[in-house]
Amino acid sequence: MSTQTTTFGRVFGRADGRERVAVPFWNGILSALAAVVILAACGFVAAVALMVIVVLATGRMPSLNPGHPLIESTLVASYLGGGAFAWSRLCRMNRLPPHRLDAGDVRAILLGVLVLVLVRIGTVVQLVATNQTKHVQAGFEHFTIIGKLPNVTALSIVLLVLSTVVLAPVAEEMFFRGLLFGALAPRLGVLVSALISALIFGAVHGDPVLFPTLAALGFVNAIAYSVTANLWVPITIHAANNAVSTAFLVAASLQGWS
Question: Is there a contact between 131 and 209 (Cβ–Cβ < 8 Å)?
Answer: no
Eight-state DSSP code of residue 96: P
Cα 233 from Cα 227, distance rounded (Å): 10
What is the per-residue pLDDT across 37-50, written as a single tens digit (0 to 9) for each?
A: 999 999 999 999 99
Cα 118 from Cα 7, distance rounded (Å): 27
What's the one-letter identity of residue 188?
A: L
pLDDT-derived band at 137 (thresholds 50, 70, 90) equals confident
Cα 179 from Cα 93, distance rounded (Å): 10
In 3D space, the residue among 127, 139, 141, 134 whose CA is nearest the CA of residue 210 turns out to be 127
Cα 64 from Cα 208, distance rounded (Å): 23
Question: Is there a contact between 231 and 173 (Cβ–Cβ < 8 Å)?
Answer: yes
Q: What is the pTM of this model?
A: 0.90
Question: Is there a contact between 218 and 176 (Cβ–Cβ < 8 Å)?
Answer: yes
Q: Which helix (H) or strand (E) holds 168?
A: helix 168-173
Backbone angles phi, psi at 161, to 5 degrees: -65, -40
What is the per-residue pLDDT across 5-56, written as a single tens digit (0 to 9) for each?
A: 444 455 554 455 567 899 999 999 999 999 999 999 999 999 999 999 989 9
Per-residue buried b or exposed e for 38-69, using 16+ beta carbons within 10 Å of the residue's own CB: bbeebbeebbeebeeebeeeeeeebeeebbbb
At residue 4, does pLDDT exceed 60? no
What is the per-residue pLDDT across 69-95, written as a single tens digit (0 to 9) for each?
A: 999 999 999 999 999 999 999 999 988
pLDDT-derived band at 243 (thresholds 50, 70, 90) equals very high
